[in-house]
Structure 1
């Protein structure tokens, strides 16, 4: 049953794809000439001079939170699988629908994402690691398992804006700068779908909230 869900989702891409692109190659396309799309009238997220996209991935996973003494949730990291849909990147409107589609698959039929893990679309993992500079606290990390063994990024957040739509439910858009690894110099999380915790909670409680997002890796 879950494989049918995946096939239905991929079929929806085929319907939307231009007629001249009916081969429906989804992964493995060059992306260096494509620019990430940010909201207008903001300067928090920007592309550093000379940097170009090397990889574009869709992350599907959970945002993790713990409830503090004030009855509100605090982020304690995230875990996600990364999927390569780079061949859709030239069709921005199509690429931007992928997080919502994969989020729906993850929530509606979790085994479907496990199925995608076994396909060439799966290229790596997103997780949090101990900050290598301070030796304490956690930092966002990415490892592209289908690339070379040094394809690691650990970074610091240098930019953060509210999601342009439905920021109550969709996690923020972020810009990260590398502090360790050679995978990329800059990583963006944009086009987020869900991931925000409830507004209030019982102190000590923990929660994992499903989400999906685009991740752009620039060097």
Structure 2
């Protein structure tokens, strides 16, 4: 067992025994993302597992208004070294641990997630790939998730022929990120969140 994996296992053990974290989802196969009702990846191949840490962003027109989603910004940390542990059900609690402890386990940055000026969800994994995406399916975060967690998503290449090496991504095991029910003032609200992003090619 590598020192990196050992360090991560110790972090998981500590977090799960000291924090009230959600019960991990389960995966039955190395290439099977936890779905919670999302479409299966079919013949696509799992390329990367990343930890996304950033903010879900909302616009407020005035105090008392309902916040409007305007995208997200996140750093994507390479958690692919955990692929061999997929059957252990430890991966599904990874984002919750990161969100609750504010630690990213010294994982290397693989890329970034952002929304383009045209509002397109974009994933730039630099030399590893690029995905210009469209939302295909959305399901609520399952019962037992951290409070106010954003939905789980399945996104695919949007057909604009700018994606490279990547065809789809899942946002799963979300922690936080939901907007408040109403705005306290006009402006932009940035709500912290963490999630796992499973990339397929």
TM-score over 0.5 for the pair: yes
User: Would you say the 8 A contact 2:132–2:157 is kept in 1?
Assistant: yes
CA distance in 2, matches of 1:142, 1:197: 22
Matched residues, number: 176
What SS does the aligned partner of 1:66 have? strand
* Aligned CA distance change for structure 1 residues 168 and 73 (closer, same or farther; 3 Å): farther
Alignment partner of 1:178 is 2:157: yes
Structure 2 match to 1:38: 35
Alignment partner of 1:142 is 2:123: yes
Structure 1 match to 2:68: 74
* Aligned CA distance change for structure 1 residues 160 and 167 (closer, same or farther; 3 Å): farther
CA distance in 2, matches of 1:183, 1:82: 17
CA distance in 2, matches of 1:92, 1:190: 17
Match of 1:162 among 134, 140, 143: 140
**What are structure 2's unaligned runs of at least 5 residues?**
1-6, 16-28
CA deviations on 1:151-205 (whole Å, 9 max, x unpaired) are: 2111111111111135860001011111231131111100000000111114623
Structure 2 match to 1:98: 94
* Aligned CA distance change for structure 1 residues 15 and 36 (closer, same or farther; 3 Å): same
Structure 1 match to 2:116: 129
CA distance in 1, matches of 2:51, 2:41: 22
Match of 2:49 among 56, 78, 87: 56
User: Would you say the 8 A contact 1:9–1:101 is kept in 2?
Assistant: no
CA distance in 1, matches of 2:135, 2:45: 19
What SS does the aligned partner of 1:163 have? coil
Q: Note the aligned Cα RMSD (angstroms).
A: 2.8
**What are structure 1's unaligned runs of at least 5 residues?**
1-7, 17-31, 107-111, 131-136
Structure 1 match to 2:182: 200
User: Would you say the 8 A contact 1:129–1:154 is kept in 2?
Assistant: no
Structure 2 match to 1:12: 11
CA distance in 1, matches of 2:182, 2:8: 34
